[in-house]
Amino acid sequence: MVQVRVQGLAVVAQESAPVVLLREESGSRRWLAITIGAPEAQELAAAQEHVVSARPGTVELIIEVLAALGQSVERVEITQLLDSIFHADLVLSGGARVSARPSDAIAIGLRTHAPLEVAEAVLDEAAVDVTVAAGDETALDAAADLEEPAEATEDEIRRFRDLLDDVSPEDFRDPDA
């Protein structure tokens, strides 16, 4: 398993579908884009920003139920890619694994500060080296070097969004597949 972090959320212009962008922690330039639904993107954004609702949503409810049962989330794993669908597991403190949609698992992981890992086979199949996928290395270097989204300048954000306008889902697929 390879540790990754949530780099952000984006909308791929051609598809108008939100994607969560994961970036390998080891300094590699491999990124993984997972298409998610609009409600899931809103939940991920709220989790990433640590927004607390007046009433608990589904993600918060799951975390509370786990705590009431004496469990916590040790880590989140993106385990496989089958028929173009990503699969994930929540790995609990007692060793149990719970299958989940990646968007839900990532939101729970963000809320619980659990590490996020992706199977090497999934990265091999679906990750993209951002310098290969697009021609604007200047924008890619600026985006790849961001440690936290809050540190981005407006110009870097604009260049990265411009880059995303030129990216299609096919850029994230294995060309030999």
Give the DSSP H or E segment for 126.
helix 120-126
3-state secondary structure 43-103: HHHHHHCCCCCCCCCHHHHHHHHHHHCCCCEEEEEEEEEECCEEEEEEEECCCCEEEECHH
Q: What pLDDT is attached to residue 86?
A: 96
Domain extent listing, the chain:
2-171
What are all long-range contacts of 15-24, with beta carbons under 8 Å and residues at least 24 apart?
15/168, 15/169, 20/44, 20/102, 20/103, 20/106, 22/78, 22/116, 22/118, 23/144, 24/118, 24/123, 24/127
- pLDDT by position in tens, the chain (length 177): 999 999 888 876 655 788 999 999 887 788 999 999 888 988 988 888 888 888 888 999 999 999 999 999 999 999 999 999 999 999 999 899 999 999 999 999 999 999 999 999 999 999 988 764 445 544 444 444 444 444 445 665 666 666 666 665 555 555 555
Q: Please give the CATH number for the structural domain made up of 2-171.
A: 3.10.690.10
State how far the Cα of 29 lies from the Cα of 131, in Å rounded to an integer. 8
The whole-model pTM stands at 0.72
Q: What pLDDT is attached to residue 144?
A: 45
The angle subtended at Cα 119 by Cα 117 and Cα 121, nearest 5°, is 155
Q: What pLDDT is attached to residue 32?
A: 92
Q: What pLDDT is attached to residue 11?
A: 78
